[in-house]
Every structure is written in C-alpha cells, then in structure tokens.
Amino acid sequence: MSYLSLSNTSLVAITISFVVICITIICLRIVTQIKAKQALKEELAQHDNFAMGISFASEILVVIATIAFLFDEISISTAQSNPLKVILLIVLLFSFIKIGHLIHRKWILHRFNEEAAILKQNVCAALVDSGMLIANLILVLGLYKWTHAKGFSSLLIASVSFFLLQGMFAIDSKIREYRFAKANQGASLQSNFGLENTSIGIRYAGKSIGLALAAYAGLSSAAFQSGKMVENLFTLVMHCGVMWLLLYCLTYIIKIISMPNIDTALEVDHQDNIGIACIEFTVFCASGYLLISMFSI
C-alpha cells in the first residue's frame, strides 16, 4: 500500500514553483536594498529595523502566495505546453499588486510618506503599508479567479474592475479618516501614522485586509459574463457593495459582543492599546473570511 500520493508531475510543479519563488525573492531583496541604500542584512540585523522586517516579510508572503495560487489554478500540462503564458500571468499579477500598492501610497495616503517612515523604523507605517499590500494581493487573486483573464476582453474587464475596487478602498479609507477626525477633535489620521502609534497601524491593516476579503467574497459570488463590460461592472458593484456593508455590520455586532462597554476609539487612538487593536484586526479579518465561506460558489 502506498501512503505517499505525490506523483512525478506534482514534484515537477513543486520544483518549478520553488525556483520561481527563490528567483523572485532574490530580485525583491535587491530592490529593497537599493531603496534602503545599504545591505538588507545591516538594516535588519545591525540596526534592528523592526519596521523594515515587517515590510519585507509581507512582500515575501505576497510572492509565495501569488505563485502558490497560480500553480494551483494552472495545471502542470498547461504550464509545460505554454510556459510563456505562465510567465506572462506571473508578471501581470505582480504588476497589478504593485500598481495597487502604489495607488495606496501615492493617492489614498498621499500625505504620508510610508517608505521614509519605514526607513526611520516606524512600525505603524510598516503595518499600514503591509496591510494594504496583502489586501491588494487578495484583491488581484480574487479578480483573476473571477475572470481567469482569458483573452484581451477579459483582461480589460479585470483592469477596469481593479481600478473600480481601488476606488472602493479609497472611499473606505476616507470614511476611516473622517471617523478618526470626528473622534479626535479634527486630528488627521495620516498625521497620526507618523507618531508611531502601533495600535492604529494594526487596526488600519486589519480593516484593509478585511475589506479585501469581503471584496473577494463578492467576486466569488458574482457570475462573470465574458465580453460584457457594463454587465460585469454592475454585478461587481452590487456584490462587492453588499459584502462591504455586511462586513461592517458583522464587525460592529461582534465587537459589541466581544468588547462590551469598551471605547475602542479611545483605547486605540489615545492609549495605544495593542490588545484592543489586535482584537479589531482579528474581527475584521475573520468576518471577511466568513463572508468568503458563506458566499463562495
């Protein structure tokens, strides 16, 4: 009786994906070192830059998760018969993730320089940046699973949908900034990121990832119609919009049940209560995953 079910094709797939991951991480390390203007070893080991470590760890997570997802979606026979397609898909997925990351840095949080703050060992900035990077990973993988990007028309629909969902992230971020200013006598959320309040970064990252999971649930429940731009965009707005509302309804109820009579805004914004922020992070991420489990087809 054989207890090991790995076939030769599975071993080939594992080997290829591992090689691609290693090459990508080496490139990522070189780019990170160029940005830091010194060796990554010095920044992490000698300067103990915890923020840089968080940022680099999230980038490694994105690389491995993307390759793993892609090799799970594409059969080894397809990869062997058309390797250029696989390479193109990898480049496209990483490009969309990076574009979403840049939209977050340069547009959504344009008043806060996350890269400079991370080099200054600002953990809050690293958490905010890493949360949005992981959120973009989830978003891009959800779009790929929805469209499968077969042909130019599907790629065009996926591209427009991607920017539409970035608009949803921007609106959600502005709502968070408005609520923060209302609860803190007009203070700016983006300015507070620079004050190194770790709990604010944890909460912001949790909400970003939770919203991305909710959008993934919306994409999983929406039917894709090949070649029909307007119908697909309308379906996307309806499904992801409903998931957005459900996410906040679920988290509101769960937070009331799990943390009764606790002013979470006061604890996180003023007292840097990491415990409360971690609970909020968990509630948003878990609620997003719950929506995926409930509405995935």
pLDDT per residue as tens digits for the range 127-177? 999 999 999 999 999 999 888 767 778 889 899 999 999 999 999 999 999
In a domain, 1, yes or no: no
- CA 240 to each of CA 135, 254, 257, 260: distance values in angstroms, whole numbers, following the listed order: 14, 21, 26, 29
* Residue 228 phi, psi dihedral angles, 5° rounding: -115, 95
- Which letter does DSSP use for residue 185 in this model? T
Q: What integer pLDDT is reported at residue 78 of this predicted model?
A: 64
Q: How confident is the model at residue 9 (pLDDT cuts 50, 70, 90)?
A: low
Assess if residue 255 is contained within a domain. yes
pLDDT of residue 214: 95
Tell me, yes or no, whether 3 lies in a domain. no
Q: How far is CA 258 from CA 200, 249, 252, 283, in A?
A: 19, 14, 10, 9
Q: Is residue 2 part of a domain?
A: no
Per residue in 241-271, pLDDT (tens digit) is: 999 999 999 999 999 998 888 888 888 888 8
In a domain, 183, yes or no: yes
Closest by Cα among 60, 70, 55 to 25:
60
pLDDT band at 119 (very low <50, low <70, confident <90, very high): confident
Which is higher by pLDDT, 17 or 137? 137
Show contacts of 243-249: CB within 8 Å, 24+ apart.
243/214, 243/215, 243/217, 243/218, 243/291, 243/295, 244/168, 244/172, 244/211, 244/214, 244/215, 244/218, 246/214, 246/291, 247/210, 247/211, 247/214, 247/284, 247/287, 247/288, 247/291
What would the pLDDT profile of 51-93 be if each residue is shown by its tens digit?
888 888 898 999 889 888 887 766 666 666 667 777 888 888 9
What integer pLDDT is reported at residue 46 of this predicted model? 62
Number of structural domains, the chain?
1
Residue 160 maps to a domain = yes
Q: In terms of residue numbers, what domain contains 226?
A: 8-295
Percent of the chain clearing pLDDT 70 (strictly above) = 85
Q: Is residue 200 part of a domain?
A: yes
Task: Tell which residue, 170, 169, 104, 176, has the closest CA to residue 133.
Answer: 104
- Using pLDDT thresholds of 50, 70 and 90, give the confidence band for residue 49: confident
3-state secondary structure of 187: coil
Residue 45 backbone dihedrals phi, psi, to 5 degrees: -90, -40
pLDDT at position 8 over 60: no
CA distance 22 to 64: 9
Residue 208 falls in which region: left (phi positive, over 0), alpha (psi -120 to 50) or beta: alpha
Distance CA 53, CA 40 (A): 9
